[in-house]
Amino acid sequence: MEEKIEEIYKICKNLEFYCNVNQLKKELYEAKKFHFLYEDLEDSTKEALKNIFPSSDNDVVLVKGVTKILSIWDYLEYLLIEGRSKEFKKLKKLFDELFKTYSKISNVKKQQVNLKYDDEFYTKTPSSPAVGNITQILLDGLVKDGKIIKKAVVKVEK
């Protein structure tokens, strides 16, 4: 009986160690997520954004990314228009993480989107018709003090 208890105790200790290691991995990723997301970008994207991100250091990516968030948004829009969806998705992940920090220190928020397309408030994809309903938000618009500073990029269908 005592051998069984000892065996169960060892199993529990191993599980506890495993859980602690996984928690440490999660915490390390959180601490370095900006670096990891930046490193995942295509070389062509890194080259295009070298004025924003002079280094892949986590703190540099965070600080420079937050201070240049509107420039990153512009490049995301460019990638969408050019049809470079793979690069867009990777950079969008980084943008979304940076925007979480940016929105805490600024009064810029994501734009609310209605169903009906109106070019006064939104930018449609080149393949979308001129009139119709919004079926997908590809890039969130940005609003500051109730004024649109970046129109949402949307997909429209009749």
Q: Are residues 95 and 113 in the same domain?
A: no
Say whether pTM exceeds 0.85.
Answer: no
Domain match, 101 and 122 both: no
- CB contact at 8 A, 100 and 30: no
pLDDT in the model for residue 12? 56
pLDDT digits (tens, 9 = 90+) for 81-137: 898 999 999 999 999 999 988 888 888 999 988 888 888 999 998 889 989 999 999
Q: How far apart are CA 43 and CA 87, in angstroms?
A: 10
Total length of the chain: 158
Per-residue pLDDT, 59:
82
CA distance 22 to 41: 25
At residue 52, what is the residue type?
Answer: I
What does the alpha-carbon distance between residue 73 and residue 88 come to, in Å, rounded to a whole number? Answer: 10
**Do 18 and 58 fall within a single domain?**
yes
Looking at the structure of the chain, the number of domains it has is: 2
Distance CA 22, CA 99 (A): 27
Boundaries of domain holding 156 = 107-158
Say whether pLDDT at 8 is over 70.
no
Pair 9, 41 in one domain: yes
Asked if residue 143 and residue 83 are part of one domain, the reply reads no
> Is 82 in the same domain as 16?
yes
Identify which has the larger pLDDT, 27 or 113. Answer: 113
Q: What is the percentage of the chain residues whose pLDDT exceeds 70?
A: 80
Predicted local confidence at residue 107, as pLDDT:
87
| CATH number of the domain encompassing residue 132 | 2.30.22.10
- 38-52 pLDDT per residue, tens: 999 999 999 999 999
Going by DSSP bridges, is the β-strand pair 108-110/142-144 parallel, antiparallel, or unpaired?
Answer: antiparallel
Answer yes or no: do 112 and 131 share one domain: yes
